Amino acid sequence: MILLTNVTKTYNTGKHNQFTAVDDVSLTVEAGRLTILKGPSGSGKTTLMALIGCMARPSSGRIQLHNIRTSFFTGADSRAPLDITSLPERFLTEIRRTTFGFIFQQFNLVKGISALENVMLPAYPTGESQGAFRRRALELMELFAVARHAASPVEWLSGGELQRVAIARALINNPAIVIADEPTAHLDSKLSREFMEMVGTLKAGGKTVLIASHDPLVYDSELADTVIGMRDGRITGLSGLS
């Protein structure tokens, strides 16, 4: 579970171009559910996901992660919620690497290397043996039907295939939470539906999935457990919360 309490993110504080991307947001993201952040461009969805995904720190407020296992947060403490708001960068990176899997709007795959290497990329600095995560990467590529492109450079792949490689990459370190930012922005309706089917697979596998989207195919999906509306950095509505 992820708990946000009065989270605000302000950029360029004290400068003439200061602006608040996320303004006093409090919400709960339930474990094992699909939560969708819905809203127009500039509504603060991406910033909120970056804060949750330990990519940035809030200017104020608290973000707590429950049931997170890290190398620095062990023993009896591991059952207590972990406040990530003021953790040093090194710890945030570890949480980002082990707890979250990211699917970006532009896919953010590295050109010139194979699809398989792209999938393995988040695992390289973990210190795990390459044989182990290579096997896992191939299994994931098999699951998402891109195994035949394992050796191909990513430039050769279609939009849908790139999307699937990006999903496989997000799952290589077996994260508990998957974050996807506008995942269907570059896909046609058919591929968008396929993507939602894959999200269904992830959800069925027990993953917590958080998607930011203004695509009705996503936020109107039957799979969505919670849909949070956003505008101007604030929450405007909440639906489907059980």
What does the binding site for other proteins look like in residue numbers (CB under 8 A)?
46-47, 49-50, 55-56, 89-90, 93, 96-98, 100, 102, 104, 106, 108-113, 117, 121-130, 169, 173, 181
181 or 194: CB nearest other proteins: 181
Kindly list the distances between the CA atom of residue 68 and the CA atoms of 83, 95, 179, in Å, as whole numbers in the listed order: 11, 8, 16
Shortest Å distance, C-beta 53 to other proteins: 8
Q: How far is CA 42 from the centre of its chain?
A: 18
Shortest Å distance, C-beta 242 to other proteins: 29
Shortest Å distance, C-beta 52 to other proteins: 11
DSSP string, 163-194: HHHHHHHHHTT--SEEEEESTTTTS-HHHHHH
104 or 147: CB nearest other proteins: 104
DSSP-derived letter for residue 153 is B
Shortest Å distance, C-beta 58 to other proteins: 12
Shortest Å distance, C-beta 87 to other proteins: 13
124 or 197: CB nearest other proteins: 124
23 or 225: CB nearest other proteins: 23
Q: Which two tokens stand for residue 1?
A: 């579970």
56 or 143: CB nearest other proteins: 56
Beta bridge partners of 8: 60
Residue bearing tokens 């504080």: 13
Shortest Å distance, C-beta 93 to other proteins: 5
Amino acid residing at 224: A
134 or 193: CB nearest other proteins: 134
Asked if 227 and 240 touch (Cβ cutoff 8 Å), the reply is yes
Alpha carbon distance 163, 157 (integer Å):
10
Strands (E), the chain: 2-11, 19-29, 34-38, 60-65, 82-83, 100-103, 177-181, 208-213, 226-231, 234-239
Amino acid residing at 221: S
Shortest Å distance, C-beta 116 to other proteins: 11
